[in-house]
Chains A and B, each alone.
Chain A
Amino acid sequence: MRRRPMKVALLSESMADETALRVLVEAVLGEPIELVQPSLRARGWPNVAQVLPSILRHLYFNTATDALAVVVDADDSPVHTEVHEAPGYFHPQCRLCQLRSVFRKTQRNFAPRAGRERVLRGVGIAVPAIEAWYLCGTDPAVTEEAWLKGQAAGVAPYTRRDLKMRVYGTDRPSLGFEIQKAMECVRRYQVDTRRLEADFPDGFGRLARDLRTWRRPANPEEGGPAGG
C-alpha cells in the first residue's frame, strides 16, 4: 500500500532557503513531502528561536503536521561538534543545541494527540551560511572543517559576503536570483547527499540524521525518532 506523504513544515530565514531546504529534505527522505501551508518564516537569528515554541504548539495542536525541519545560518556562533552530542551536554551559544533544546522543552508536556506525541524534529545549521552548502563540491575550500580551523586560528577562511559573491556574483542578489541559484545548487543532491554530509557533518549531517529517524520504527539503540 502506498504511504501518504509526510506532512512537513519548514522553517528558515528566507524563501530561497526554504526552496533549498525542501529539495534537501526530500532527497534525504527519498520521497516527496507534503508541505504545510502557509509557509513558515523567521526574521533570522534569534527570531527563529523566539518563534519556534509557538510554531511547535501551533503545528501540534492546530494541524496534522508530522515533522518540522529548521535550518538557520550559524553566522559567527560556535559550531556544533561531536562534543555537543554527549548526553546532557548543552552549549549555550551553539544554535543547534539551542534549537534542539527548544524542541525538547516545548514538547515535553504535550498530551498525545491524533495518534502522535510530538512533532518530529529536524534541525540543521548552515556553517556559516547556506551559501556554503551551495558551494559544496565546487569549491573544496568551503567546508565545516575549514571554518572550524579558521575559528580556532582567529582568522575566518571566508566571510558571509565572500560566499555570496562566489555564489551570486554580488552581495546584493535579488530574491528571485537567490531562489534560482539555490535550485541550481541543491539539485546536485537530489539523488545523493553524501558529499554534503561529509563536508558539513555537524550542520547538514545532523539534519540528515534527524530526517532519517522520521520513517524508522523507534529503535532504543538510536534513541528513536528525533522529537526533541
Chain B
Amino acid sequence: MIASVQFKHFKALRATSVRMEPFNLVIGPNGSGKTSLIQACLRMRALLRQPLPAAGEPPGARRPDKGPEIVIRFAPPYADITVHLGGRTEHSLDFIEVRHPRTDEGRARWEQLRDWLGGIRAYLFDHYAMAEPVALAEGGELASNGRNIAAVLAGMRDHLPDTFRRFEAEFCRALPDFTAVDARWAGEGRVELALRLREDGEWVTAENISQGGLYALAVLTLSFAPQPPTVLCLEEADRGVHPRLLREVRDALYRLSYPESFGERREAVQIVATTHSPYLLDLFRDHPEEIVIANKSGRSATFERLGDRPELKAVLGDSSLGDLWFSGILGGVPEDE
C-alpha cells in the first residue's frame, strides 16, 4: 500500500504531503491538487515501465536541480523503499529514482513492489464510449474510460458465472428498473451492453441507458473484477449518479478496499477517489480518517486529513459532513475574491 506522498513544487502542490489510507476520498475546490495526486501515481507507474538503473547504481538520467520533487513511501513490508519523481518544469514528471536496500532481499522486495505498482489504474468513464459495440477479444481488464465494459462483462459471464450472477443481482437491486445485464452479440466479433427492463422485459442497449446508470454499472464491474487494480483512482466518483444511489457507489468501492467486510478473500485495493458531492461526503461521517481535504490558497494547495483534526468531534456536532464542507469550516472550498 502507498503510505504517503510528499510534494514539492508540483503544480499547485508547492510543499505538502498526504498520508494514504486504504480508502481515500479527496475533496477540495477546482485546481487544489486532487487530480495532481492521481497524476503522480499514474506517472510513477508509467516511469516504472521503463528500464531502471540497476539497484544501487546512480540513476541513468541526471536528476533535475529544479522542478518538482515527489517522494512516495510505502507501508510494510516495503517501508524502507522510496520512489522519487522529478521533472524539468513544475508541470512535468520525467525522472524517477528508486531507493531500496542494496541486498538481494531488498532487491527482491523492490521487484515485488514494482509489480504491485504496475497495477495502478485511473478511471474517468465515458458513457458514449461505453455504449459502442466492442470486440469480444478486448475483454479482460476494464479500460480507463470503460469503453470495453461489454467485453469485460461477457468474459465474466462466460468464465465466472457465479461472480456474474452476484454482480447482476447487486446491480439490479441498486437500479430496480432492470432485471438482467448482458453483453449481446453485435456482429463482426463484437458485443454490446444490454439491460432488461423490469416493466416489460424488453432489452435496451447501452445507448438508451442513462449516463449515471452506466457509471454505476462500471464501478460495480470494477468491484467484481477477478483481478482488480492494486490502486484504483476514480475521478468524480459521484458523477451522474443520483444522490440516493451514492451509497451503492461507496459500497462498490468499499468492496474493493475492504474485501473482508464483504466476505471476500483477496488483496485489498487502495482507493483514491475525488468528489465535489456533499451527499457522497455525508456517507463518510463514521470514517473521517478516509477524507482528505485539499485546501487552496492563491496558487498553492495543501492536503489535510480530516481525521487528524483533534477537535473534529466537537466541531462536527450533529451536523452533516456535507453541510459543514459547504459552509467552509472544514476547508476545501474555493476562495472568494
Contacts and interface: CB of A to CB of B under 8 A. Distances in A.
Interface in A127-180: 160-161, 169-177
A46 interface: yes
A172 B254 CA distance: 7
B286 A176 contact: no
Interface in A173-215: 173-177
A170 B260 contact: yes
Interface residues of A, number: 21
Given A44-B285, A45-B318, A173 B248 contact: no
* Residue of B244, B279, B282, B318 ringed by the most chain A CB atoms within 10 A: B318
A26 interface: no
13 contacts: A43-B282, A44-B285, A44-B320, A77-B318, A169-B261, A170-B260, A173-B261, A174-B251, A174-B254, A174-B255, A175-B248, A176-B170, A176-B173
Contacts of B258: 170, 172
Nearest to A169: B261
Interface in A26-56: 41, 43-47
Interface string B312-326: 000000111010000
B86 to A, nearest CB: 38
Interface range for B: 20 to 34
Nearest to B243: A43
B6 to A, nearest CB: 29
Contacts of A171: 261, 286
Give the interface SS of chain B, mostly helix, strand, loop or mixed: helix
Given A14-B247, A43-B282, A174 B318 contact: no
B3 to A, nearest CB: 21
Given A46-B318, A47-B320, A170-B261, A175 B286 contact: no
B262 interface: yes
Nearest to B255: A174
A178 B248 CA distance: 12
B247 A43 contact: no
B13 to A, nearest CB: 30
Interface in B279-337: 279, 282, 285-287, 318-320, 322
B251 A160 contact: no
B286 A161 contact: yes
Nearest to A173: B261
Contacts of B279: 43
B242 to A, nearest CB: 11
B247 A175 contact: yes
Given A44-B285, A171-B261, 14 more contacts: A43-B279, A43-B282, A43-B320, A45-B318, A46-B318, A46-B320, A160-B286, A161-B286, A170-B260, A175-B174, A175-B248, A175-B251, A176-B173, A177-B262
Interface in B236-271: 244, 247-248, 251, 254-255, 258, 260-262
B287 to A, nearest CB: 8
Interface string B137-164: 0000000000000000000000000000
Contacts of B286: 160-161, 171
A155 to B, nearest CB: 16
Contact of A174 (B262, B282, B287, B319): B262
